[in-house]
Amino acid sequence: MRLITRNTDYAVRALSYISRQEEKVISVSELVEKIKVPRPFLRKILQILNKKGILVSYKGQGGGFALAKKPQEIFLTDLIETLQGEIKLNECLFKKMFCPDIKNCGLKKKIETIERYVVSQLKSITIASLSNNGCKTHNC
């Protein structure tokens, strides 16, 4: 199980870089060069973030992407849910089959407690907090 997939990692790196560029429009070429992400993956991710209102795209010469929101308003949980779906640490082994002990399952209750804690911690992480904590020197 991976909590953060490659696409979410790439999105965080791209948004962190864009956020440090003082509201400039950043081209895909610049992003590819600076954050070292394969162009096809990055374009797809940027288009998704544009459709979700996290980025704004500008076409033509001098075009590219800019943040649609302030960096402190873009949460890691937003990116995970946009690119990966609902944050779930565990799915019942029985999947869609009826579990006879679903209400009393001790493991399920413990994992749900852990999941709530993890989500609460992830909700405190913003692009602003990531951009200000070491990303300036690591191009993330």
CATH number reported for the structural domain that contains residue 105 in this entry? 1.10.10.10
In contact, 17 and 26? CB cutoff 8 Å: yes
Q: Is residue 1 part of a domain?
A: no
* Low-confidence winner among 4-13, 30-39, 54-63, 83-92 (lowest mean pLDDT): 83-92
Q: Is residue 95 part of a domain?
A: yes
Q: What is the pTM of this model?
A: 0.82
Q: Is the confidence at residue 30, as pLDDT, over 90?
A: yes
Q: Is the confidence at residue 137, as pLDDT, over 50?
A: no
pLDDT of residue 44: 96
Average pLDDT over residues 85-111: 71
Share of the chain above pLDDT 70, in %: 84
In contact, 45 and 11? CB cutoff 8 Å: yes
Which residue spans within 5-128 are E strands per DSSP? 55-58, 64-67
Which three-class secondary structure state does DSSP give residue 64?
A: strand
Q: Is the confidence at residue 91, as pLDDT, over 60?
A: yes
pLDDT of residue 131: 81
In contact, 74 and 54? CB cutoff 8 Å: yes
Cβ neighbour number for residue 130 with a 10 Å cutoff: 19
Tokens in use for 93? 């082994």
Q: How many domains does the chain have?
A: 1
pLDDT of residue 18: 96
Which three-class secondary structure state does DSSP give residue 15?
A: helix
Average pLDDT over residues 108-125: 89
Q: How far is CA 137 from the centre of its chain?
A: 20
Cβ neighbour number for residue 42 with a 10 Å cutoff: 20
Q: Is residue 99 part of a domain?
A: yes
The total number of residues written for the chain in this structure: 140
Q: Which domain holds residue 71?
A: 6-138
